[in-house]
A and B are shown apart, each in its own frame.
Chain A
Amino acid sequence: MAADTFIFLDHTPLHDVLDKPATVETLGGMVNNGLDPSPIIHAGLVSIILVAAAYAISRSYGDRRIHPQGKTFSLANLLEMAVSGLLAFMEGLMGDHARRFVPLIGTTAFFILFCNLLGSIPGFDSPTTNYNTTLACALVIVVATHVIGFRAHGAKYVKHFMGPVWWLAWLIFPIELIGHFARVLSLSVRLVGNMAGDHLVVATFMGLVALLVPAVFMGFGLFVAFVQTFVFTLLSIIYITGALEEAH
């Protein structure tokens, strides 16, 4: 059902406007099966960029814990600012647990941010305009939430699904289960809807007035890319905090 509903997102309208084929011929097997490898290639590109940047920056530290202060602004400074900002934001919401979850939340946040921003570069496409990418991100977060819950509470984590009294458990359990599946759907659909919608707006205005006007919406698109990353991160933190706290 979900795949059929979102199949229209496979070809973003930008491809039609820019007359760029959405498929890469070399991956013939996928193309012949009607699959679009473009989001996978772009997501892989983002992963490679992030891993390479992280590796290069961590190498530049050597065996020091603090980066040497140069006269020029470096990539390491920028990353330190971003990571310490993220940590401060997480500490405001989760308190002492924040440091443990920086790797998970930070990775998804940077991955989604770079995926969103990749679409602003001409010739590239945002992997997050494809439902599969966002569904993968949402599944990682929601599955991780439950793993974290079980590791924190053990078997008592099941109480989170059972409600306050035992004789209502049969009623509460399906409701909670549906609620948790709804989290996957709402996280992924929000991201894909906003990114695809934003590209649709830019493409439409590019078709109407090719000069200057789309630039306004491209700027708006940058804003949307950051806000959606922020929302995804915020909700991931809230879900993880919910799994960590005691069942009421």
Chain B
Amino acid sequence: MAKARGWYDLLKYSSLGLEMGAAVVIGLLFGVFLDRKLGTEPWLTLLFLAFGFAAAAKAVVRAVRSGILEDEPSDGDELNGDRQ
């Protein structure tokens, strides 16, 4: 079971890279779209690009936090064997 978990985690965290990129792209596109609609170039582009970066950072924080939370109970008897 412990081996299978490592395999899930690998796939789970491998999705992080694409999610970070996607967040920046979505933020940028949304900013450009709003700027063209409202004619406020380039301010909303910059603002939403920053939001995109923040969303990417938040994805990392969320993944790290969930990783830490998942690791904590494993100090118990079940997974001790492969910790050492």
Q: Are A182 and B11 interface neighbours, CB within 8 A?
A: no
**B73 nearest CB across to chain A (Å):** 13
Q: Which residues of A from 174 to 200 have beta carbons under 8 Å from B?
A: 174-176, 178-179, 181-183, 185-186, 189-190
**A247 nearest CB across to chain B (Å):** 13
Q: Which residues of A from 159 to 182 have beta carbons under 8 Å from B?
A: 174-176, 178-179, 181-182
| With A183-B19, A185-B22, A186-B22 as contacts: A175 and B11 at CB distance below 8 Å | no
User: Residues of A within 8 Å of B, CB-based: how many?
Assistant: 20
Which size class do B's interface residues fall under?
20 to 34
Does A231 sit within 8 A of B, measured CB to CB? yes
Q: Are B18 and A231 interface neighbours, CB within 8 A?
A: no
Q: Are A186 and B55 interface neighbours, CB within 8 A?
A: no
**A105 nearest CB across to chain B (Å):** 15
Does A235 sit within 8 A of B, measured CB to CB? yes
Q: Are A176 and B55 interface neighbours, CB within 8 A?
A: yes
B residues less than 8 Å from A101 (CB atoms): none
Q: Are B12 and A185 interface neighbours, CB within 8 A?
A: no
Q: Which residues of B from 7 to 35 have beta carbons under 8 Å from A?
A: 8, 11-12, 14-15, 18-19, 21-23, 25-27, 29-30
The interface bits of chain A over 225-243 (1 if a CB of B lies within 8 angstroms of the residue's CB, else 0) are 0010011001100100000
**B32 nearest CB across to chain A (Å):** 9
| With A234-B8, A238-B12 as contacts: A179 and B18 at CB distance below 8 Å | no
| With A175-B55, A178-B30 as contacts: A231 and B23 at CB distance below 8 Å | no
| With A179-B59, A182-B19, A189-B18 as contacts: A234 and B30 at CB distance below 8 Å | no
Binding site for B on A (CB under 8 A): 1, 93, 174-176, 178-179, 181-183, 185-186, 189-190, 227, 230-231, 234-235, 238
Would you mind naming 18 contact pairs between A and B with Cβ atoms under 8 Å apart?
A: A1-B29, A174-B51, A175-B51, A175-B54, A175-B55, A178-B23, A178-B27, A181-B26, A181-B30, A182-B23, A183-B19, A183-B22, A185-B26, A186-B21, A190-B18, A234-B12, A235-B15, A238-B12
Binding site for A on B (CB under 8 A): 8, 11-12, 14-15, 18-19, 21-23, 25-27, 29-30, 48, 51-52, 54-56, 58-59
